[in-house]
Copies of this chain bind each other. A is one copy, B any other.
Amino acid sequence: MPAPATEERDRLDRAALLDTAEALFYAHGIQAVGMDRVREASGLPLKRIYRLFATKEDLVVAVLRRRDRRWRESLAAHVERVAGPRERVLAVFDWLAAWCAEPGFRGCAWINAHGELGAASEAVLTEVRAHKRAFHDQLSGWVRATGLPLTEPVYLLAEGAIVTAGITGDPSAAGHARKAVEALLRGAAD
């Protein structure tokens, strides 16, 4: 049965390609990484790459989409391991702090992609907005569980921490955001 074997190989190669491309795009920027560099790093022939993704833009979108799924799943897994609505909201910022402190952290991949291609690529812009909306809605669920109308402030503090950590390289922004959220939870609770 050659057809299933081919499909399986496609699936594996696609995953390996996404791994390679994601690492390169995140570390150096999307426009700075040519398809030849992706080919070299992945070990896949250019022809095969273009059979798996018709254009570079398609590859970029696929990278962002898979990263979105993984990123939010990882966040949710961390948060939902915690008991108590307020503790969960605070756990978001613990997870963000750990993420920002990872070696090789270079800011939010979607904010960076927006800066690079938001004006040039409709597909990338759509993907970035979809990620931000999904993160907003995810966060909104946890905040609403506290019974306090704090979705927007908490979301803006998270975004501020992410962008600030990305630019300054200092991961303490997430800690500051966490303290601010504590204050808001306290202040709105009276």
**With A and B bound together, what is the CA distance between A161 and B115 in angstroms?**
16
Query: Any chain B CB within 8 A of the CB of A29?
Result: yes
A134 to chain B, nearest CB (A): 13
Select which of B32, B160, B188 is within 8 A of A160 by beta carbon: B160
Majority secondary structure, A binding face:
helix
CB distance from A23 to the nearest CB of B (A): 13
Would you call A122 an interface residue if the criterion is a C-beta within 8 Å of the partner chain's C-beta atoms? Answer: no
User: Given B27, B159, B173, which contacts A163 in the complex, CB threshold below 8 Å?
Assistant: B159
Per-residue CB proximity of A27-44 to B under 8 Å, as 1/0? 111011000000000000
Measured between beta carbons, the chain B residues less than 8 angstroms from A159 are 159-160, 163-164
Interface string of A125-137 (1 = CB under 8 A from B): 0001100110000
Binds B, one of A3-11, A45-53, A81-89, A177-185: A177-185
A80 to B112, CA, bound (A): 33
Interface size class of chain A, counting residues whose CB lies under 8 Å from the partner chain: 35 or more
Bound complex: CA of A159 vs CA of B107, how far in Å? 14
Would you call A120 an interface residue if the criterion is a C-beta within 8 Å of the partner chain's C-beta atoms? yes
Contact A183 B184 (CB under 8 A): yes
Partner-contacting stretch, out of A14-22, A57-65, A67-75, A148-156: A148-156
Contact B168 A180 (CB under 8 A): no
- Are A164 and B132 in contact (CB-based, < 8 A)? yes
Residue of A106, A111, A129, A161 most packed against chain B (CB within 10 A): A111
Residues of B within 8 A of A111 (CB): 111, 115, 163, 167
